[in-house]
A and B are shown apart, each in its own frame.
Chain A
Amino acid sequence: MRLKRLLIRYYPPGIILEYVKGGELRNKSIDLLDLNPETDTEKLIREIQESEPLITESRTDQMRLLLRTLQEKLAKQDDRRFHQFKALQAHILPLTNVAFNKSGSSFITGSYDRTCRIWDTASGEELRTLEGHRNVVYAITFNNPYGDKIATGSFDKTCRLWSVETGKCFHTFRGHTAEIVCLAFNPQSSLVATGSMDTTAKLWDVQTGEEVATLTGHAAEVISLAFNTVGDQLVTGSFDHTVALWDVPSGRRLHTLIGHRGEISSVQFNWDCSRILTGSMDRSSRVWDSASGQCLATLSGHEDEVLDVCFDCTGQLIATASADGTAKVFSAATHECIAKLVGHEGEISKVCFNPQGSRVLTASVDKTARLWDVQSGVCVQVLMGHTDEIFSCAFNYEGDAIITGSKDNTCRIWR
């Protein structure tokens, strides 16, 4: 094994090792999820060198430089204020979901008008319209980090795979017998997972367009799914009140996470794949151990259904959004509530962190999106402009641009 070069990764903090093994170029990452501006870097370098033989003595200077760069980035106070840059008359019918590519240079919007559109973030220009679905385009995603393909899941029961460059449809995945409402690429971009109202999830081969596996067992609609960071496990959440953990290579069910007393609204892995976070209509969220399938904690306190949950990119923080109009931030380690985000005048349907983990973004029925300071729980900004409820919102990778998609048929860029 020979180390070729070291690359920096900001979110979550880490160093990527590019090395040659058996004549083949490979890479692996050293995650530095706990790194902060006060971390003793000399001690950290010694620890890394002890556990990672590729980081030899001769690399010490370079490591020092990389860690300092990371620390500087982390120390940057982000008091950015966002302004509406553009209101895009994106679709002739309401939007569903929105998503950025990895770099944030472009983003996509799905709509009831049966199209998915690709937009240039910097100019707000439409780059392409992906046409072909025969009903609502509901779930959409880029194959990040590559960003050369888009998958769209539709109420027409099919999933389509598209080329970002040409806008051509590579494959139409047929097999579900009801609406497709969630989907994801695995991190290698070799598989697409789709979840459907037909109670199943399916895995599809990106290259061949063939169905690889049907994941059966849920007794009701599959509403949310996510791959872990490695790509060997998939988690699905269902209206049947349960969550299932699947082994991706075999398509076998590893665990059924039972405990919620209402429909599942949202599921996600943390970065190191050790935890699964679930939100439910039973007004609670739960944290589960992905190895054992055991419930580690129930996060309660909301007075109505939990509609969305997420980890920050390091997996240290948890945010929950509720129909009670509030959101909450919890520590993933202690499960304690750090902040209660109060101010929206209606239910919150989406929540996400900025990549830095310093801000939470919420989208609400009250036609506003709001930015909150994670530590204090103070609302630092109200993004006003939409004339109908906001269905979806997202941060770009740098955390300096926000997109919101609304029932008012527009998409807005804030920066």
Chain B
Amino acid sequence: MGLLSILRKLKSTPDQEVRILLLGLDNGGKTTLLKQLASEDISHITPTQGFNIKSVQSQGFKLNVWDIGGQRKIRPYWRNYFENTDTLIYVIDSADRKRFEETGQELAELLDEEKLSGVPVLIFANKQDLLTAAPASEIAEGLNLHTIRDRVWQIQSCSALTGEGVQDGMNWVCKSVNAKKK
């Protein structure tokens, strides 16, 4: 990667490149999702203390996905990465009901950010492989997603661990980018 590659991924991207920001609370499964997208080994993932960037090809697009650490102390720094974002992916641990309120609040704050205004948002209701996972419909209701009117949005249930639902979500991302770039 190196600093220079970060600069190259930072600049406003050409048409066929898409900048995707992957956010969500710590332990939501962002890095697992990123590695699943890049078909990498997901057996040893530790809390992200900074960020990871990976590029994946999908439907003629080069998706540059920025996975940003979600721990509370580093959430104020999410803002570092907002510039030139084409799509926001917000990852929720569907089995961690205790934190639904916290994750809803963080999402609401993100949607209020000026630099992310109008940016399509995909919400991954992750960890559906767990028996205790709440269904996507319940999360959508709890987070009042239906009140989002200033952008296109989608909620997709998935398991980053098994890969189920991940591709469906990414298909939606490509579709929404296509619609926007036209």
CA distance A97 to B80 in the complex (A): 17
Query: Which residues in A have their C-beta under 8 angstroms from that of B74?
Result: 92-93
Q: Decide yes or no whether A236 CB sits under 8 A from chain B.
A: no
Q: Give B42 Cβ to nearest chain A Cβ, in Å.
A: 18
CA distance A185 to B83 in the complex (A): 28
- CB pair A407–B50 under 8 Å, yes or no, is yes
CA distance A391 to B1 in the complex (A): 9
Q: Decide yes or no whether B131 CB sits under 8 A from chain A.
A: no
Nearest neighbor of A363 in chain B, beta-carbon distance: B2
- CB pair B51–A112 under 8 Å, yes or no, is yes
- CB pair B80–A391 under 8 Å, yes or no, is no
- CB pair B4–A265 under 8 Å, yes or no, is yes
Query: Which residues in A have their C-beta under 8 angstroms from that of B69?
Result: 93
Interface size on B, residues (CB 8 A): 18
Contact pick for B1, options A155, A263, A365, A408, CB 8 Å: A365
0/1 interface trace, chain A 73-117, chain B, CB 8 Å (1 if under) = 000000000000000000011101100000000000000111000
- CB pair A94–B1 under 8 Å, yes or no, is no
- CB pair B11–A221 under 8 Å, yes or no, is yes
Bin the interface of chain A by size.
20 to 34
- CB pair B80–A221 under 8 Å, yes or no, is no
CA distance A114 to B80 in the complex (A): 9
CA distance A409 to B74 in the complex (A): 12
Query: Which residues in B have their C-beta under 8 angstroms from that of A92?
Result: 49, 73-74
- CB pair B50–A409 under 8 Å, yes or no, is yes
Query: Which residues in A have their C-beta under 8 angstroms from that of B97?
Result: none
Q: Give A34 Cβ to nearest chain B Cβ, in Å.
A: 34
Contact pick for B7, options A93, A181, A408, CB 8 Å: A181
Contact pick for B2, options A221, A263, A347, A409, CB 8 Å: A347
CA distance A179 to B84 in the complex (A): 12
List A residues 319-351 near B (Cβ within 8 Å): 323, 347, 349-350
Query: Which residues in A have their C-beta under 8 angstroms from that of B51?
Result: 93-94, 112
| A–B complex contacts, Cβ < 8 Å, 28 sampled | A92-B49, A92-B73, A92-B74, A93-B50, A93-B69, A93-B74, A94-B51, A96-B3, A113-B77, A135-B80, A155-B80, A181-B7, A223-B4, A239-B11, A307-B4, A349-B4, A350-B2, A365-B2, A388-B50, A389-B1, A389-B2, A391-B2, A391-B3, A392-B3, A407-B1, A407-B50, A408-B49, A409-B49
